[in-house]
């Protein structure tokens, strides 16, 4: 019963980040991964969580490929903390726990217990951005463990914490270990690994340099540890560039290094009443206006959401609970449902005003109020059904496109410039509308109305009967 990493390799372009890495972590163990920045610790953890996939080799949990293991079995604490800064603590933690399959009542009970244990119950209703760094770290830790996963993967859990909060987190980590959880965490500090871990691995340039129990590693490889003090260059940053040298500790009075024993190389018209035509004009423009701004606005919401999650590393937490396709579908469907609800409210309010206000009826239909019924039966239903279809299809298209653009950029403030081209495609659909109102079934109007998700088909249906 173990987590087994068997000879995995991972390339990023021409750079090989992981080389023939083999690890075995027994179920229930507290396992430490040590190494300098860029050594491959985070890449390895992301492959364990199936956020990244190895180019070769396999990763299994109790004999099953990790891609087949339910995601709720994992708890992940990323090195770069990922939380929604404007969400309240309880909303955020309950959201993540429910996303990972925990029942609402159980999630609320566990949340209350852990908040009390960490002495941050007073912060339950506060926004994440209002908390101190230490309390944010506690919340991040709770996001990892609240759904009671079997495997905890923690990337630098103690980074940036003061001694008091470090001890609180250590005690919580040991408590999870006593509950039988399998814990893998990375650190730069050898003394943390010695204090907490049963087994460790030291990774350098994507390779396992040393692996085994803490006692065995100290006994067998102790002689490869050296301490250096330089009066004229106390930082000695150049040490990490030396082949076979890994800086494991920096103190005011010395630098501790691990020196490898071996160094490896990297490799188709009917006549209609004027009143109906006037109403069609109004309806067409209202529909087009709503469609344009709804699609554009909600697609931009998707793009900003993706960019925010990416830049705050909250995406890594979400990927630990659901597949990328599930996350994208959830975001698009969720925001699309909100947009559709808003459109429905606007339509209900607009129709209410139309039916209740006599001056508005007279303006649209003249003295012949029968035109109102004719309008509803001949235009209202097909128009709004088509409007619904157009809204959904256009939203899904642009939401997926904007989500992709949001994933390609590095910062949230780059979203506006990144979506200029697809925005122009939407805006260009307005130009033919101006010239097509007087001849909705002209040949050029027919052709252009079939372009994907332009609004000309709505104009042809609302202003004149459609000859397909």
pLDDT digits (tens, 9 = 90+) for 227-241: 777 776 677 777 777
Q: Are residues 172 and 127 in the same domain?
A: yes
Q: How confident is the model at residue 306 (pLDDT cuts 50, 70, 90)?
A: confident
Report pLDDT digits (tens) over 181-195: 999 999 877 778 888
Residue whose structure tokens are 């279809």: 389
Domain that residue 388 falls in: 278-463
- Number of helices and strands in the chain (H, E): 18, 13
Q: Is the pLDDT of residue 367 over 50?
A: no
Confirm whether 404 is domain-assigned.
yes
Q: Is the pLDDT of residue 282 over 50?
A: yes
Q: Is the pLDDT of residue 9 over 80?
A: yes
Confirm whether 178 is domain-assigned.
yes
Q: Are residues 241 and 307 in the same domain?
A: no
What is the DSSP secondary structure assignment for residue 132, as one 8-state letter? -
Q: Are residues 48 and 151 in the same domain?
A: yes
Q: What is the pTM of this model?
A: 0.61
Domain boundary among 259, 286, 320: 259
Question: Which whole-number Å values give the CA distances from 178 to 104, 174, 175, 182, in the listed order?
Answer: 25, 6, 5, 10
Report pLDDT digits (tens) over 234-278: 777 777 777 667 787 787 778 887 766 544 444 434 444 444 555
Report pLDDT digits (tens) over 167-225: 888 888 899 999 999 999 998 777 788 888 889 999 988 998 888 888 777 766 555 66
Report pLDDT digits (tens) over 34-68: 888 888 999 999 999 999 999 999 999 988 999 99
The per-residue pLDDT of the chain, averaged, comes to 77
Q: Are residues 100 and 242 in the same domain?
A: yes
Q: Are residues 108 and 172 in the same domain?
A: yes
Confirm whether 120 is domain-assigned.
yes
Residue whose structure tokens are 């003249």: 366
Task: Output the pLDDT for position 273.
Answer: 47
User: 35-39, 51-55, 364-368, 396-400: lowest mean pLDDT where?
Assistant: 364-368
Could you give the number of structural domains in the chain? Answer: 2
Q: What are phi and psi of 429, to 5 degrees?
A: -65, -20
What is the DSSP secondary structure assignment for residue 273, as one 8-state letter? -
Percent of the chain with pLDDT over 90: 18
Query: How many other C-beta atoms can be found within 10 angstroms of the C-beta atom of residue 102?
Result: 20
Q: Are residues 212 and 310 in the same domain?
A: no
Q: Is the pLDDT of residue 335 over 50?
A: yes
**Ranges assigned E (strand) in 175-288:** 182-187, 199-204, 207-213, 225-228, 245-250, 255-259
Confirm whether 145 is domain-assigned.
yes
Q: Are residues 231 and 300 in the same domain?
A: no
Q: Which tokens is 410 given?
A: 């590095």
Task: Output the pLDDT for position 222.
Answer: 55
Q: Are residues 326 and 211 in the same domain?
A: no
Q: How confident is the model at residue 403 (pLDDT cuts 50, 70, 90)?
A: confident
Confirm whether 20 is domain-assigned.
yes
Confirm whether 170 is domain-assigned.
yes
Q: Are residues 92 and 233 in the same domain?
A: yes
Q: Is the pLDDT of residue 377 over 60?
A: no
Confirm whether 269 is domain-assigned.
no
What's the CATH code of the domain at 63? 3.40.50.300
Confirm whether 377 is domain-assigned.
yes
Domain boundary among 211, 227, 259: 259
Q: Is the pLDDT of residue 122 over 70?
A: yes
Q: Are residues 222 and 282 in the same domain?
A: no
Task: Output the pLDDT for position 339.
Answer: 74
């Amino acid at each position: 019963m173990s987590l087994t990493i068997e000879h995995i390799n991972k390339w990023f372009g021409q750079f090989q980040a992981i080389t023939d890495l083999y690890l075995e972590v027994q179920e229930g163990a507290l396992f430490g991964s040590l190494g300098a920045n860029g050594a491959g610790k985070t890449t390895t953890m992301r492959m364990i969580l199936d956020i990244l996939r190895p180019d070769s080799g396999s990763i299994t949990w109790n004999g099953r490929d990790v891609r087949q293991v339910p995601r709720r079995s994992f708890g992940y604490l990323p090195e770069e903390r990922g939380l929604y800064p404007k969400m309240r603590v309880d909303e955020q933690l309950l959201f993540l726990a429910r996303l990972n399959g925990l029942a609402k009542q159980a999630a609320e009970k566990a949340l209350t217990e852990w908040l009390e244990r960490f002495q941050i119950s007073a912060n339950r209703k506060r926004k994440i951005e209002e908390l101190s760094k230490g309390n944010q770290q506690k919340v991040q830790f709770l996001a990892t463990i609240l759904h009671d996963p079997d495997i905890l993967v923690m990337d630098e859990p103690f980074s940036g914490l003061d001694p008091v909060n470090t001890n609180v987190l250590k005690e919580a980590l040991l408590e999870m270990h006593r509950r039988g959880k399998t814990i893998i965490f990375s650190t730069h500090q050898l003394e943390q690994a010695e204090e907490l871990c049963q087994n460790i691995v030291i990774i350098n340039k994507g390779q396992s340099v040393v692996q085994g129990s803490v006692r065995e590693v100290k006994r067998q490889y102790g002689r490869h540890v050296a301490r250096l003090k330089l009066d004229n260059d106390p930082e000695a940053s150049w040490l990490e560039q030396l082949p076979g040298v890994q800086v494991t500790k920096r103190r005011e009075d010395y630098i501790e290094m691990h020196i490898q024993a071996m160094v490896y190389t990297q490799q188709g018209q009917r006549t209609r009443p004027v009143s109906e035509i006037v109403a069609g004009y109004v309806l067409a423009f209202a529909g087009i206006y709503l469609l344009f701004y709804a699609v554009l606005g909600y697609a931009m919401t998707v793009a900003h959401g993706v960019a925010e999650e990416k830049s705050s590393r909250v995406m890594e937490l979400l990927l630990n609970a659901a597949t990328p396709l599930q996350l994208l579908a959830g975001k698009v469907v969720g925001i699309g449902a909100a947009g559709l609800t808003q459109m429905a409210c606007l339509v209900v309010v607009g129709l209410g005003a139309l039916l209740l206000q006599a001056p508005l009826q007279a303006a649209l239909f003249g003295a012949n109020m029968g035109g109102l019924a004719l309008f509803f039966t001949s235009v209202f239903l097909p128009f709004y059904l088509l409007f619904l279809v157009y809204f959904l299809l256009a939203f899904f298209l642009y939401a997926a496109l904007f989500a992709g653009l949001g994933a390609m950029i590095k910062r949230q403030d780059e979203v506006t410039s990144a979506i200029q081209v697809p925005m122009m495609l939407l805006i260009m659909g307005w130009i033919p509308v101006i010239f097509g109102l007087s001849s909705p079934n002209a040949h050029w109007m027919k052709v252009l109305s079939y372009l994907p998700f332009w609004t000309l088909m709505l104009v042809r249906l609302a202003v004149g009967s459609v000859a397909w």
